[in-house]
Structure 1
């Protein structure tokens, strides 16, 4: 067979069974040590129990939260949850319908706290009680550029659903509305992408970058 026509082998994710004497500690998962760990986790957490990973993440989480409106089953929520896990947000808040498509989360919802609020009023009341500034992210005529805005350390970044954008109720409740600089012909960018950009902006201002 022509070597050029051969399909490349798929890269195996994760690690196989533990080699050598088993490590000591209550955070290790005996089943994973014996069978291998193929989960979508960083190498630091290989072979760890799920509960131990969540406990460790909880001790390190950042002070920002993320919220997204879900009135029409927005398919971007999975991406938002996955990005929130990557940037170690405190919590993800879903406003509106409770059900959402978890496929895009790539199982990160098992490690990321997700809270539901049935109405905007419930969410705003919760944010106020928690002492968090509500920061809306959307392309309004009076929006302030995200790139030049000093984000509060204790805040919740709020995104509207794909298409309609941020609802008027949340826009009114926001301490500020910010826009992401765009330079092409498209009117807007995907809500899942926008959430990742905004979270990274918070990290650039407040996060502790490992060297």
Structure 2
């Protein structure tokens, strides 16, 4: 009945009223306080400048996590054929990783067997671990870890020649960027009695797993030196009495007429496309061409080096 304050729910109990009863609880005062200086655009979420800065950070991080190349650091060989070929060739390795549950075939079985014979660590890992290591590249459930190559010093090659008692025979590569060419040159130098190979530190192939494999194991017996400045290294070799002979399709003399084959020599081979660089060419004492009967204008860098080394070895045998 209206006005009956005694009925249940007719009067609200004290302290049950919604909202602030006395004062604002400081809400108004805090609402009036300043929020500080406006952050820079690169720190404001969603701002174009912030998105650009985040993209730059991702690129830097990706560069830091990229696997080292050309012998500068550890290398990971991926795929069943490359892995088994590296193990067959005796490429130095530290660990073989095989994905758990990966379908096995004769290549995987042989890789595990070879790795066990070599005393390598054989690790079974989750497939997502191989995905992380490979950076998303195809790995076929298997990966081989290769340690960094230990380059010799250019002076070590002179010492190696002195230890044999034969005139030094060194090959320097000027801008050869294909690791297969480097591996083939290492193999030829070893086959024809050379004492080592010199490569520049920059703009050149390094002793990667591909170069090791192409060298057919000879890289384990022949030193490969890295020169900070190839031109300066060649000049230092010249000061010790070595003849610097560059290979060039339009050389000063033909290989048939080259009468210094039995002297202490450095054979310099240029890059696959441009040949010898200007400074290296100026450093050479002589440039040598290979006479050819066919219409071919030039030879592959490793093939040309092999031809010259074979001729030098032949003449040295005759003199001996």
Q: TM-score, normalised by structure 2?
A: 0.44
Distance 1:76 1:151 in 2: 25
The correspondence of residues 110-129 of structure 1 with structure 2, limited to 5 A, is 110-129=220-239
The correspondence of residues 77-88 of structure 1 with structure 2, limited to 5 A, is 77-88=182-193
For residues 98-124 of structure 1, give each alpha carbon's deviation from its aligned partner in whole angstroms, at most 9, with x where no partner exists. 624332111101111211112233322
Contact 1:81/1:112 (CA < 8 Å) preserved in 2? yes
The DSSP-based 3-state class of the residue aligned with 1:128 is helix
- Matched residue, 1:193: 303
Distance 1:112 1:147 in 2: 28
Distance 2:238 2:307 in 1: 25
Number of aligned positions between the proteins: 155
Matched, 1:181 2:291: yes
Unaligned runs of 5+ in 2: 1-87, 89-116, 118-159
User: How far apart are residue 72 of structure 1 and its match?
Assistant: 3.4
Contact 2:173/2:268 (CA < 8 Å) preserved in 1? yes
The DSSP-based 3-state class of the residue aligned with 2:180 is coil
Higher helix proportion (structure 1 or 2): 2
Greater Cα radius of gyration, structure 1 or 2: 2
Runs of 4+ in 1 over 6 A off after TM superposition: none
Change in Cα spacing, 1:81 to 1:181, as seen in structure 2 (3 Å) is: same
Unaligned runs of 5+ in 1: 1-12, 14-34, 36-54
Greater relative contact order structure (CA < 8 Å, 6+ sep): 1
- Matched residue, 1:95: 200
- Matched residue, 2:260: 151
- Matched residue, 1:42: none
Q: What value does the CA root-mean-square deviation take over the aligned residues? A: 2.6
Matched, 1:109 2:212: no
The correspondence of residues 1-211 of structure 1 with structure 2, limited to 5 A, is 59=164, 63-70=168-175, 72-73=177-178, 75-97=180-202, 99-100=206-207, 101-140=211-250, 142-152=251-261, 153-207=263-317
- Matched residue, 1:40: none
